[in-house]
Structure 1
Amino acid sequence: MSDLPTVTVLGTGTMGTGVAHSLLREGFDVTVWNRTGSRAAPLADAGARVAPTAAQAAHGADVVLSILFDTAAVLDVLDAAGPSVGTGAVWVQASTIGRDGTAIVVERARQLGVTLVEANLLGTRQPAEEGKLTVLAAGDPDVLAGVAPVLDAISAKVVIAGTEVGQGTALKLACNAWLATITAGTAQSIALARAEGIDPHLFLDAIAGGTSDSPYAHLKGAEMIAGEFAPQFALDGLRKDIGLISEAAAQAHLDPALLDALTDLYGSAAARGHGRDDIAAVYTAFGTARAPSPGRD
């Protein structure tokens, strides 16, 4: 009989599906639920139990992971499943919902008598599937210690952002601001190289191994050059996050100039029909997507 905690994953989108696979691979007893049941059903073949409702999924679990799109979704599922969470169980909030949304969720959990910590997930489809996410955790240290086996199973690294739920969210927003910036910056450089008649691969060659290099620039840059935007992190998801980042920046009285530019760029790509594509599709905002690449096939 396994000594591992039983885990429920609520939300089997790109990240939730990857997390469930990683937990199953590490030997956890996993139950999954998704509002659209067909998206959870394939996990049965991997060994998960698929529950018909969030409440049934949460019943009897030691750890409940919610990986949902926004605050409204988290509150809806918490209201539905919270009363089924047993004494001693822990709800791990892993959705990117911003500081204000997190405060609302914390209060709702308190009203329901649900023990809650947060574990924001940094990474995309492949790291989720491989158990190599970075987890940004916050909350009561003793509670976090109790869910450590679950967090370790889905991650390459766990960063403890603080002892208060909300500090992990703050760190996630800072990280996603960087992600949005470096992706858009890579797109601009590739578009500029192409516009000047330069093979855009040479931009990636030029920064390789230098102090300005970034593995992410090479990953997303290759997708931009190929004009292939299979979703790892959906552009509409990052647009939502940029909105949360902008709200946090406004509350902190930070200059919004860069965030306003990012809002416009990702919004332009979405308006071109790329909202469900990968964030690399921000390249289309520069007006040169799928242009032939000089110099290399």
Structure 2
Amino acid sequence: MKIAVLGTGIMGQGVVRTLLREGHDVTAWNRTRDKAEPLADDGATVVDTAREAVAGAEVVVTVLFDGEAVLSVLRDATGAADATSASGQATATSASGQATSGPVWVQASTIGAADTARVVGLAAERGVPLVEAMMLGTKKPAETGKLVMLAAGDPELLARVQPVLDAMGAKTITAGDTVGQGTALKLAANAWIASVTAATAQSLALTSALGLDPQLFLDAIEGGQADTPYAHLKGASMIAGEYPAQFALDGLRKDVSLMREAATAAVAADGTGTGFDTSLLEALAGLYGKASERGHGGDDIAAVRTAFTG
């Protein structure tokens, strides 16, 4: 398939290389072209504008940092609002009312519930067929096609992009037929990632503070019911004090903020004064914020270990 990938940061670069390896024709764009240029050596076509990237594509995948970036790129690539699709074709709709002509846009950026709603609105205004496929995983899974794709949207459109999702991920979980449900599942999944990473850091720091070798903590949980390979992966980085970015700490910090916003909105919508307690999310926001303030925002999320020091 002919695919445009918009955004070539850590995850975007991995996605492009995976799609190329699977035999797809990929055009890559990044606002800073230097970040996309190395992909030309792998076989991607690198262009200067998002509009150029989208032209002629069957599928467009957005791998951008936040909602404003997604909205800006969608506006730039589709031009003035009218009754045509991004490819200039007349817009048709599916039984569910979704636009079906032109390239299908796969929104893969973690942008939260509120901005997802804004993107859905803009896509409808521009006649852009839209689904979402959140990427659960970090740099290595993106590079090896082992992500878990959390998809949502019109079933007809999801069927059209399934070959792309299959190339990007080891499996696809469909959260529902409404764009936004994939985002909700991604926020819940990333809450787990934020929690288990911080918990690993806390236990290693506590082991050290009590005068023991922190490796003993990992040895103690290994093979037991409380064990997880993730603790050993991130724990090794924490013990070494080396944090090459697989998932940038400031990226997860942004996601925690989106979780808090979504949870607060859910409580307000509940109307009973109960609903959801954000205490743990508040604590996570503080820990990742402290690590970022100490200069680790661009490092891997394992650098949350530094929040427990001093």
- 1:137 corresponds to which of 151, 159, 163: 151
Is 2:235 aligned against 1:239? no
CA distance, structure 1, for counterparts of residue 179 and residue 266 of structure 2: 19
Give the superposition deviation at 1:88: 3.1
CA distance, structure 2, for counterparts of residue 256 and residue 174 of structure 1: 13
Could you say which residue in structure 2 is the equivalent of 1:197? 211
Give the superposition deviation at 1:85: 2.7
CA distance, structure 2, for counterparts of residue 249 and residue 214 of structure 1: 27
CA distance, structure 2, for counterparts of residue 208 and residue 109 of structure 1: 48
Is 2:54 aligned against 1:37? no
**1:216-243 Cα distance to aligned partner (Å, 9 max, x none):** 1110000000000000000000010000
- 1:61 corresponds to which of 57, 62, 82: 57
CA distance, structure 1, for counterparts of residue 302 and residue 137 of structure 2: 14
Give the superposition deviation at 1:82: 2.3
Contact 1:118 1:139 in 2 (8 A): yes
Secondary structure at 2:61's aligned position in 1? Answer: strand
- 1:261 corresponds to which of 271, 283, 307: 283
Is 2:228 aligned against 1:209? no
Could you say which residue in structure 2 is the equivalent of 1:119? 133
Alignment of 1:84-95 (within 5 A): 85-86=86-87, 87-95=101-109
> Alignment RMSD, CA only?
0.9
> Higher mean Cα deviation, 183-192 or 196-205?
196-205
- 1:99 corresponds to which of 113, 134, 149: 113
Which ranges of 4 or more aligned residues in structure 1 deviate by more than 6 Å?
Answer: none
Is 2:181 aligned against 1:171? no
Identity %: 63
Contact 1:61 1:85 in 2 (8 A): no
Could you say which residue in structure 1 is the equivalent of 2:308? 286
CA distance, structure 1, for counterparts of residue 131 and residue 49 of structure 2: 22
Contact 2:86 2:126 in 1 (8 A): no
Could you say which residue in structure 1 is the equivalent of 2:234? 220
Is 2:282 aligned against 1:271? no
The letter for the 2-side match of 1:46 is D
TM-score by length of 1: 0.94
CA distance, structure 2, for counterparts of residue 178 and residue 82 of structure 1: 36
- 1:109 corresponds to which of 105, 115, 123: 123
Contact 1:22 1:129 in 2 (8 A): yes
Name structure 1 gaps, 5 residues minimum: 289-297
Is 2:9 aligned against 1:8? no
Secondary structure at 2:193's aligned position in 1? Answer: helix
Give the superposition deviation at 1:190: 0.2
**1:32-59 Cα distance to aligned partner (Å, 9 max, x none):** 0000000000000000000110000000
Give the superposition deviation at 1:249: 1.2
CA distance, structure 2, for counterparts of residue 222 and residue 236 of structure 1: 20
TM-score by length of 2: 0.90
Contact 2:151 2:174 in 1 (8 A): yes
Is 2:136 aligned against 1:148? no
CA distance, structure 1, for counterparts of residue 300 and residue 78 of structure 2: 33
Contact 1:82 1:109 in 2 (8 A): no
Give the superposition deviation at 1:198: 1.2
CA distance, structure 2, for counterparts of residue 211 and residue 198 of structure 1: 23
The letter for the 1-side match of 2:110 is T
**1:72-112 Cα distance to aligned partner (Å, 9 max, x none):** 00000000112473233100000001111100000000111
CA distance, structure 2, for counterparts of residue 163 and residue 56 of structure 1: 30
The letter for the 1-side match of 2:9 is G
Secondary structure at 1:38's aligned position in 2? Answer: helix
**Count of residue pairs the alignment pairs up:** 284
Could you say which residue in structure 2 is the equivalent of 1:294? none
Name structure 2 gaps, 5 residues minimum: 80-84, 88-100, 268-275
CA distance, structure 2, for counterparts of residue 123 and residue 102 of structure 1: 20
Contact 2:59 2:106 in 1 (8 A): yes
